[in-house]
């Protein structure tokens, strides 16, 4: 199927020598002497093919996605290892000015998130996902980072080809967008909303069928959002199947916008947002064509670049990324970086996270060490900034949170996902006064993250849990416990804040494992003293 890729989540100035700015010293990107202190852009709007500030200055969105709030964790991934501020600061130091923050409608209604280390992130564990979203936005703002909210999935188990499913109606989609628009109406750090991630399959552009016409649905949702906050950018992705019959990436085709643009009640708000990936993600026909990679610009112009070339509307390349391991991928990225710089196109790189199955991220599995080859390749597009040290701020008081509704899980689409629906062990084993339940939170080609929920029936001085994990090669990180791998058996012993649970106490600990595959429901051996 054209456009299939595994992450699904899961981009100008080429002449300047910015690559030299990316000198890593203790894991920090050194900024050039001409860099200025980072500040947010404020409310943005469009003029022709430009995104502009309130003063009319051209503004290029340089974003990176930090995913996780669309998964069963309902929290940005990596908070099991690094403090939130550390991740945001690293993003700002790399030269990005915006966070693209994926979420699911399911998480918006959830009461809690998972896989947050309370020692690395004190105060975040008890927050609802909406309160956590408040905090991410507030902390990003202190570092001069804007935020784009990305409705990545309806439910947290899989993406959907259309903007609604049997479990998540169009009304709920629009109502949740109206709620978020109201929640951040007075927060200029939230500059835009990406209405629905990667329409594909039956999604069509201006076909006239109310059930599948993505352009019509984007118009309805965009107008509903702007009725609440007319200052937001409305980010509209493309479709997989173009009106002329050609196929491209999920969300990647915007040829139909030439004859049938999205026209909203508030002018100068629409930003079109295709996605584009290299041959390692999916072998599109143009990767094997004669003249590759010189043929790529013609492909991009036909699918979405014409919107900028002809001055119709701004483009934000909403996702692009690569493991950067093959000659083809390296040629693709070099050509794309040059094209974006030449055209002045905004972008959002996929992803900051190292646990994106088909692209990896901008940091290694420790969530700290920069991927220098990728940053060097992206350097012509980035502007490293002098980042202020953030001062602790109180979490914004949330407005009314929608109550969770008991809805069935949506049917998974054929597209593979890097974060399968968590599968818990059938029955928590008991070990002398303590029970343990193992849950797979996310998995990708090179590893997985799992949670263990411990319930102490009586006070315990120590505890140990072990299970078989075929394909495991090393323990990358663990929180609330110390873990070892011997053969195929992982053994974890409580440590730090989770070492000695009190009677009746429930603890959630976890770990990240480097592995070729993840167990789904391993048998646990539990002991305690």
Active site residues: 198, 319
Q: Which of 349, 343, 236, 351 is nearest to 300 (CA)?
A: 343
- Between the two ends of the chain, the Cα-to-Cα distance in Å is 54
Burial of 88 by CB count in 10 Å (0-12 exposed, 13-18 middle, 19+ buried)? buried
CB-based contact 479:78 (threshold 8 Å) = no
What angle (nearest 5°) sits at the alpha carbon of residue 321, between those of residues 319 and 326? 155
CB-based contact 470:490 (threshold 8 Å) = no
The CB-based long-range contact list for 436-440 (8 Å cut-off, 24+ gap) reads 436/465, 436/524, 436/526, 438/465, 438/467, 438/521, 438/522, 438/524, 440/518, 440/519, 440/520
Burial of 446 by CB count in 10 Å (0-12 exposed, 13-18 middle, 19+ buried)? middle
CB-based contact 369:27 (threshold 8 Å) = yes
Cis peptide before 29 (omega within 30 of 0): no
What angle (nearest 5°) sits at the alpha carbon of residue 230, between those of residues 75 and 68? 10
| Maximum Cα–Cα distance across the chain | 72
CB-based contact 104:173 (threshold 8 Å) = no
- Using CA atoms, how far residue 130 sits from 245, 279, 338, 526, in Å, is 40, 37, 38, 35
CB-based contact 404:500 (threshold 8 Å) = no
Residues with Cβ within 8 Å of residue 260, at least 6 apart in sequence: 205, 206, 215
Cis peptide before 309 (omega within 30 of 0): no
* C-alpha 167, offset from chain centre: 22
**301 secondary structure, DSSP code:** I
- Using CA atoms, how far residue 6 sits from 117, 151, 355, in Å, is 27, 18, 12
């Amino acid at each position: 199927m054209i456009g299939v890729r595994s992450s699904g989540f899961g981009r100008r100035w080429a002449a300047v020598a910015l690559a030299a700015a990316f000198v890593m010293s203790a894991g920090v990107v050194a900024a050039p002497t001409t860099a200025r202190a980072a500040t947010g852009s404020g409310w943005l709007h469009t003029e022709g093919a430009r995104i502009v500030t309130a003063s009319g200055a051209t503004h290029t969105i340089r974003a990176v996605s930090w995913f996780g709030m669309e998964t069963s964790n309902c929290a940005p991934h990596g908070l099991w290892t690094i403090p939130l501020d550390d991740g945001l600061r690293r993003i700002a130091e790399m030269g990005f000015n915006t966070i693209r923050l994926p979420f699911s409608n399911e998480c918006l209604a959830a009461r809690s998130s998972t896989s947050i280390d309370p020692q690395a992130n004190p105060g975040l564990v008890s927050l609802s996902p909406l309160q956590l979203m408040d905090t991410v936005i507030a902390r990003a703002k202190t570092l001069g980072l804007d935020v784009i909210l990305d409705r990545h999935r309806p439910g947290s188990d899989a993406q959907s080809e259309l903007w609604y499913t049997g479990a998540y109606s169009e009304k709920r989609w629009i109502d949740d967008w109206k709620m978020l628009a109201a929640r951040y109406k007075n927060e200029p750090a939230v500059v835009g909303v990406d209405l629905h991630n990667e329409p594909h399959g039956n999604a069509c552009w201006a076909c006239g069928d109310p059930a599948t016409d993505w352009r019509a649905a984007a118009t309805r949702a965009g107008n509903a959002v702007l009725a609440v906050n007319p200052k937001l950018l409305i980010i509209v992705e493309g479709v997989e199947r173009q009106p002329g019959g050609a196929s491209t990436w999920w969300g990647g085709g915007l040829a139909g916008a030439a004859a049938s643009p999205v026209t909203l009640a508030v002018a100068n708000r629409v930003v079109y947002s295709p996605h584009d990936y290299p041959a390692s993600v999916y072998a599109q026909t143009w990767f094997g064509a004669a003249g590759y990679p010189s043929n790529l610009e013609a492909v991009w112009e036909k699918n979405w670049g014409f919107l900028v070339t002809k001055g119709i509307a701004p483009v934000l390349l909403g996702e692009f990324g690569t493991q950067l391991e093959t000659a083809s991928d390296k040629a693709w990225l070099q050509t794309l970086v040059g094209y974006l710089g030449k055209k002045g196109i905004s972008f959002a790189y996929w992803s900051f996270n190292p646990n994106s199955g088909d692209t990896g991220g901008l940091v290694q599995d420790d969530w700290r060490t920069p991927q220098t080859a990728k940053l060097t390749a992206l350097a012509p597009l980035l502007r490293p900034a002098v980042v202020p040290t953030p001062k602790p701020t109180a979490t914004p008081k949330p407005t009314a949170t929608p109550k969770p509704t008991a809805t069935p899980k949506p049917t998974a689409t054929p597209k593979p996902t890097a974060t399968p629906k968590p599968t818990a062990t059938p029955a928590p084993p008991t070990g002398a006064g303590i029970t343990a339940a193992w849950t797979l939170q996310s998995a990708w080609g090179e590893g997985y993250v799992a949670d263990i929920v411990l319930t102490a029936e009586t006070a315990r001085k120590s505890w140990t849990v072990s299970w078989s994990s075929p394909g495991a090669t090393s323990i990358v990180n663990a929180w609330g416990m110390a873990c070892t791998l011997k053969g195929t058996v992982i053994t974890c012993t409580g440590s730090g804040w989770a070492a000695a649970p009190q009677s009746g106490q429930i603890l959630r600990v976890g770990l990240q494992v480097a592995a070729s595959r993840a167990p789904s429901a391993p048998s646990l051996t539990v002991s305690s003293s």
